[in-house]
Structures are given as C-alpha cells and as structure tokens.
Amino acid sequence: MCPEFVAYYRIDGVGPSRLGLIVGKSVGNAVVRHQVSRRLRHEFARHMMRMPSGTQVVLRALPAASGASSAELASSVARVADKASS
C-alpha cells in the first residue's frame, strides 16, 4: 500500500504504455499539484520500460504525496511497476 497515491493499472497489450494522473485540490495549491505531477511523471518514465507494452496506469495522488521525498515516490512507483510486470 502506498501512502502517496492509489494506483490502478490495466494491461491490454496494444500500443505504448501510458500514464494518467489525478492530482486533486486536497494535495495542495496549483504549484504543489503541478510539482507532484512532474515528480510522478518523471518516476513513471524511469520504470516504464519494465512494464509490458500496452500497460495503462492511473495514479491518484493523495495529500501525503506533496510531502514525500523523491526516494519515497521512486520506491512506490517501482512497486507499482513490479506489480504490473508480474
């Protein structure tokens, strides 16, 4: 369980892997939400090649994501990537 976000994924095997982000106002103001989005997108790009082709991932950020370190986000995204690739 990730305290920073809730992950939903589906593998359909068609096309490239894609990421959808849901970062609501409960995470913070616009600047904080954009920062969280950028950090999650960056970590997803690092782990995207480990996932099967056609994996669709949606991450819904929780308020804890705004205070999470990059290492915490990286390990959480890595867990999602491992789960999706197995």
pTM, two decimals, is 0.89
Number of domains making up the chain? 1
Answer whether 82's CB lies under 8 Å from 48's CB: no
| Distance in angstroms (rounded) separating the CA atoms of residues 79 and 59 | 13
pLDDT tens column, 10-42:
998 888 889 999 999 999 999 999 999 999 999
**Pairing mode, if any, of strands 5-11 and 18-22?**
unpaired
Q: Domain of 16: which CATH number?
A: 3.30.230.10
Q: Which domain holds residue 80?
A: 5-85
- Sign of the alpha-carbon torsion through 85, 37, 1, 25: negative
